[in-house]
């Protein structure tokens, strides 16, 4: 997959995010603190030591899916720990491991080890309030050896007691110019011919189409590359069925139409289920902008949809099931 093959390894490779210079400085502080930590503990009256201990140890990355939050966490770990970074980096999907039992038995167990490490929790805004409460305690007690990085699509889903312990960084949708540069760089490295005026026009359109979602853009680009002929074979973007539109159809009672169009997107247009689920996450707040309860219900259902898609022979069953949840919220008798 292009998204994995060309995942940035260094801060300078991450494009389109204004927070990166700040995070690079933060990474340097972390790295320096590891080198000085033991010595400074013995001299806590020094100004340097007080400055170190005043730093917020944990980080909160928030913003829409597909814009580089996970990538940045890995880049930070690589910067701080060097070539052995994977021995000091643990990643959890907090949607899958969202309950208080998992937090206490799994995350706490890893946090208790003496190894200095970064623990990354993706989709932490989907953790239950009780689990977040337990997580706050772990972050507080075991911060000596652990830096927690929490990823959230919606920062309002993180309890205040955790947010107060984190330095927060907003990841914005990637701008069109940066998106185009990312695609062109990949095409050159893959030796794909995009010299025609039509190819260039399509690349410009694709850079705009996913509204700043790098993952969605690269997944679509990969579908258009013929790796045998080293040429681009474009599917007209007008034929790409916007998932938001299907969600709106289901919400407004047109479930069968939405189901049919989703099947076309998945089976005929070969849209990956991962991309569809990312769009589900992205558009839930726009489908129910004034109903937080409906948003919470759908966000809690999405991790199950993702798990089922991985396990089922036909993932479309689970994707259609999610559309039925959207339909039922407006059309099930109270």
pLDDT (tens digit per residue) in 165-176 = 899 999 999 999
Q: Is residue 60 within 8 Å of residue 122, measured between CB atoms?
A: no
Residue 246 or residue 47, greater confidence: 246
**Residue 332: per-residue pLDDT:** 65
Residue of 175, 165, 167, 171 whose CA lies nearest to 138: 165
**Residue 64: per-residue pLDDT:** 85
Q: How far apart are CA 249 and CA 230, in angstroms?
A: 38
Q: How far apart are CA 201 and CA 48, in angstroms?
A: 54
Q: Is residue 102 within 8 Å of residue 127, measured between CB atoms?
A: no
Sheet holding 117-122, edge to edge: 89-93, 117-122, 146-152, 58-62, 166-170
Residue of 167, 187, 166, 175 whose CA lies nearest to 214: 175
**Residue 37: per-residue pLDDT:** 59
Burial-class residue 188 by CB neighbours within 10 Å (0-12, 13-18, 19+).
exposed
- Tell me how far CA of residue 130 lies from CA of 90, 134, 153, 168, 300, in angstroms: 22, 6, 19, 22, 15
**Residue 54: per-residue pLDDT:** 41
Residue 199 or residue 51, greater confidence: 199
Which DSSP state fits 175?
Answer: P
Q: Per residue, what are the HEC states of 264-298?
A: HHHHHCCCCHHHHHHHHHHHHHHHCCCCHHHHHHH
| Geometric angle at alpha carbon 170, from 167 and 172, rounded to 5° | 165
- Asked whether residue 333 carries a pLDDT value surpassing 70, the answer given is no
For residues 282-308, average pLDDT: 89
Q: How far apart are CA 316 and CA 259, in angstroms?
A: 10
Residues of the chain with pLDDT > 90, as a percent, come to 38
**Residue 12: per-residue pLDDT:** 95
Q: What is the pTM of this model?
A: 0.69
- Asked whether residue 260 carries a pLDDT value surpassing 80, the answer given is yes
For residues 179-194, average pLDDT: 95
**Residue 96: per-residue pLDDT:** 56
- Tell me how far CA of residue 69 lies from CA of 16, 77, 115, 165, 317, in angstroms: 12, 13, 24, 19, 29
Residue 40 or residue 81, greater confidence: 81
| Both tokens assigned to 67 | 């814009």
pLDDT in tens, 9-46: 999 999 999 999 999 998 988 888 776 655 544 444 44
| Both tokens assigned to 189 | 């490295």
- Asked whether residue 123 carries a pLDDT value surpassing 50, the answer given is yes
Mean pLDDT over each residue of the chain, to the nearest integer: 84
Reported confidence tier of residue 239, pLDDT bands at 50, 70, 90: low
- Asked whether residue 265 carries a pLDDT value surpassing 90, the answer given is no
- Asked whether residue 147 carries a pLDDT value surpassing 70, the answer given is yes
Q: Is residue 213 within 8 Å of residue 243, measured between CB atoms?
A: no
| Both tokens assigned to 332 | 């099930």
Which of the given ranges, 69-73, 110-114, 267-271, 284-288, has the highest pLDDT on average?
Answer: 69-73
For residues 147-175, average pLDDT: 91
**Residue 14: per-residue pLDDT:** 96
- Asked whether residue 236 carries a pLDDT value surpassing 80, the answer given is no
Q: Is residue 333 within 8 Å of residue 276, measured between CB atoms?
A: no
**Residue 286: per-residue pLDDT:** 85
Residue 273 or residue 171, greater confidence: 171
- In the chain, count H helices and then E strands: 16, 7
Q: How far apart are CA 319 and CA 72, in angstroms?
A: 29
Q: How far apart are CA 240 and CA 14, in angstroms?
A: 27
- Asked whether residue 52 carries a pLDDT value surpassing 60, the answer given is no
Q: Report how far apart the first and last C-alpha atoms of the chain are (Å, whole number).
A: 45
Q: How far apart are CA 329 and CA 334, in angstroms?
A: 10
Q: Which residues have CB under 8 Å from 236's CB, separation 6+?
A: none
Q: How far apart are CA 202 and CA 183, in angstroms?
A: 11
Tokens 């396990």 found at: 311
**Residue 35: per-residue pLDDT:** 66
């Amino acid at each position: 997959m292009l998204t994995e093959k060309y995942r940035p390894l260094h801060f300078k490779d991450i494009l389109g995010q204004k927070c990166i210079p700040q995070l690079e400085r933060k990474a340097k502080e972390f790295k320096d603190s590891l080198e000085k930590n033991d010595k400074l503990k013995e001299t806590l009256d020094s100004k340097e030591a007080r400055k170190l201990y005043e730093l917020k140890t944990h980080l909160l990355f928030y913003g829409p899916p597909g814009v580089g939050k996970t990538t940045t966490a890995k880049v930070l770990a690589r910067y701080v720990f060097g070539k052995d970074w994977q021995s000091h980096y643990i990643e959890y999907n907090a949607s899958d491991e969202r309950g208080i039992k998992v937090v206490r038995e799994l995350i706490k167990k890893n946090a208790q080890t003496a190894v200095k490490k970064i623990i990354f929790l993706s989709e932490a805004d989907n953790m239950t309030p009780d689990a977040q409460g337990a997580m706050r305690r772990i972050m507080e007690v075991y911060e000596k050896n652990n830096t927690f990085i929490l990823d959230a699509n919606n920062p309002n889903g993180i309890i205040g007691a955790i947010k107060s312990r984190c330095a927060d960084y907003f990841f914005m949708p990637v701008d069109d110019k940066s998106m185009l540069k990312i695609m062109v760089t990949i095409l050159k490295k893959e030796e794909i011919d995009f010299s025609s005026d039509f190819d260039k026009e399509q690349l410009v359109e694709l850079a705009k189409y996913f509204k700043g979602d790098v993952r969605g853009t690269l997944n679509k680009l990969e579908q258009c590359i013929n790796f045998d002929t080293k040429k681009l074979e474009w599917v007209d973007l007008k034929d790409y069925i916007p998932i938001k539109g299907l969600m709106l159809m289901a919400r407004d009672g047109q479930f069968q139409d939405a189901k049919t169009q989703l099947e076309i997107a998945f089976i005929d247009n070969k849209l990956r289920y991962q991309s569809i689920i990312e769009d589900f996450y992205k558009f839930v707040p726009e489908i129910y902008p004034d109903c937080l309860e409906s948003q919470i219900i759908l966000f809690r259902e999405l991790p199950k949809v993702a798990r089922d898609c991985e396990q089922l022979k036909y993932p479309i069953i689970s994707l259609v099931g999610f559309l039925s949840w959207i339909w039922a919220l407006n059309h099930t008798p109270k």
